[in-house]
């Protein structure tokens, strides 16, 4: 186990934050090879716009904004990393004019290599940021991985 005060989270990631994403040209080339999604008149914003989130009409008055986002560490402080990752994820809902209500998280973490307190602090930071925004965390999943990563949907 590593001392929680000595570990630099940024040293565990090959690329930071959104820098891990596949470039738009490469992604577009791959997506062009896939069959189109089932046409749906209630899908207001979908794959064709490459937007921050999808928007699906529930009824004449209401639509559901869905997004998924991940973040690798861009700071070394675990609590701050959790806060930044959560703020980044829910900002996509705001960008689409929505109000985030719930979130799921997926956390990747090298559990045998790092002190569990680091993971606790990451999740506490994310949870506190979600609470600040009025978002309820409804669950999630964990993955034992070599690089820390926090995903929110």
Q: Is 137 helix (H, G, I), strand (E, B) or coil?
A: strand
- Can you tell me the distance from the alpha carbon of 108 to that of 119, in angstroms, rounded to the nearest whole number? 9
Query: What domains can you pick out in the chain, each with its CATH number?
Result: 9-152 (3.30.1330.10)
Angle formed by the axes of helices 116-132 and 78-95, nearest 10°:
30
Nearest Cα to Cα of residue 41 among 51, 29, 55, 26:
55
pLDDT score recorded for residue 20: 67
**Catalytic residue, candidates 1, 18, 22, 31:** 18
Paired residues of 137 in beta bridges: 103
Q: pLDDT 10s digit of each residue in the chain, 153 long? A: 445 557 788 777 766 556 667 787 887 888 888 887 778 999 999 888 878 799 999 999 999 999 988 888 889 999 999 999 999 999 999 999 999 999 999 999 999 999 999 999 999 999 999 999 999 999 999 999 988 888 888
Q: Is residue 18 annotated as a catalytic residue, yes or no?
A: yes
- Can you tell me the distance from the alpha carbon of 9 to that of 16, in angstroms, rounded to the nearest whole number? 10
Half-sphere exposure at residue 139, Cβ-oriented, CA atoms within 13 angstroms: 1
Q: 120 and 87 in contact (C-beta within 8 Å)?
A: no
Measured torsion, CA atoms of residues 10, 14, 19, 24, in degrees rounded to the nearest 10: -170
């Amino acid at each position: 186990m590593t001392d929680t005060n000595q570990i630099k989270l940024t040293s565990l990631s090959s690329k930071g934050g959104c820098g891990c994403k596949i470039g738009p040209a490469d992604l577009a080339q791959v997506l062009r090879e896939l069959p189109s999604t089932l046409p749906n008149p209630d899908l207001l914003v979908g794959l064709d716009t490459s937007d921050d989130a999808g928007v699906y009409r529930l009824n004449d008055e209401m639509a559901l904004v869905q997004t998924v986002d991940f973040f690798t560490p861009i700071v070394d402080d675990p609590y701050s990393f959790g806060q930044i990752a959560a703020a980044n994820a829910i900002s996509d809902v705001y960008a689409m004019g929505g109000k985030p209500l719930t979130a799921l998280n997926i956390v990747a973490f090298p559990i045998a290599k790092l002190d569990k307190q680091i993971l606790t602090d990451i999740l506490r930071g994310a949870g506190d940021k979600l609470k600040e925004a009025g978002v309820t965390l409804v669950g999630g999943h964990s993955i034992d991985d070599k690089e820390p990563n926090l995903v929110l949907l």
